[in-house]
């Protein structure tokens, strides 16, 4: 029998930052100079929140849920073999009104023959069509602007960038498709 090879083990070295590191200098500069006004009061920027939001609960969301649907949500539902309308009803346990903007329809039409089934689903009479008054056909901007103006929508998307933009808007739940189900990311329960 031969001798087994052994590997040399090195001691773990704890790494520390150099005291002259730029990252530490920036933190120290901020501590030395707090943002103050002429009166000595701290400057605080508080984003203006709609009056119908109480903490993070949106009072405008109600049982006939209006769901804004994005292009890739329909495509993911097709890939996972989920019917959009029934999937939303089983996920939210209530009546849902799926809504599609003109920009999303234009985006689906641009994708071509490969996405013809998704376009057929989007043209279903159960889907409510929302007209767009802005120029351009970029669907993500359209959905974000509509959600900011009217806080009565849930947003159904699987797009990472769009999810990040919507998470910054308080009181707007996000629906997505994962593991053959539609999942809700932020739907706040009513507290009695």
Is pLDDT above 90 for 63? no
pLDDT band at 51; cut points 50, 70, 90: low
Rounded Cα distance between 105 and 96, Å, is 19
Q: What is the DSSP string of 33-83?
A: S--B-TTSPBP-------TTEETTEETT--SSEEEEE-HHHHHHHHHTT--
Is pLDDT above 80 for 73? yes
In degrees, rounded to 5, the angle at the alpha carbon of residue 25 between the alpha carbons of residues 22 and 30 is: 130
pLDDT band at 191; cut points 50, 70, 90: very low
Is pLDDT above 90 for 82? yes
Q: Which single residue is written with the structure tokens 């901007």?
A: 141
Share of the chain above pLDDT 90, in %: 46
Is pLDDT above 50 for 188? yes
Q: Residue 185 phi/psi, 5° resolution?
A: -85, -45
Q: What is the pLDDT of residue 192?
A: 40
What is the mean pLDDT of the segment spanning 94-99? 93
Lowest model confidence (mean pLDDT) among 10-24, 49-63, 162-176? 49-63
Q: Residue 66 phi/psi, 5° resolution?
A: -95, 115
Is pLDDT above 90 for 11? no
Can you read off the two tokens belonging to residue 113?
């023959």
């Amino acid at each position: 029998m031969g001798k087994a090879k052994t590997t040399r083990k090195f001691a773990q070295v704890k790494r520390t930052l150099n005291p002259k590191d730029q990252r530490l200098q920036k933190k120290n500069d901020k501590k030395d100079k707090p943002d103050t006004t002429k009166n000595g009061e701290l400057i605080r920027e508080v984003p203006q929140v709609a009056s119908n939001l109480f903490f993070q609960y949106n009072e405008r969301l109600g049982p006939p849920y209006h769901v804004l649907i994005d292009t890739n949500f329909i495509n993911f539902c097709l890939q996972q073999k989920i019917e959009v309308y029934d999937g939303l009803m089983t996920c939210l346990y209530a009546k849902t009104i799926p809504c599609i903007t003109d920009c999303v329809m234009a985006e689906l039409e641009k994708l071509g023959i490969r996405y013809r089934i998704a376009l057929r689903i989007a043209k279903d009479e159960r889907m409510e069509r929302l007209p767009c008054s802005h120029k351009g056909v970029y669907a993500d901007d359209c959905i974000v602007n509509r959600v900011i103006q009217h806080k009565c929508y849930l947003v159904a998307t699987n797009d990472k960038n769009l999810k990040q933009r919507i998470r910054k808007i308080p009181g707007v739940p996000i629906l997505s498709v994962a593991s053959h189900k539609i999942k809700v990311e932020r739907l706040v329960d009513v507290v009695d």
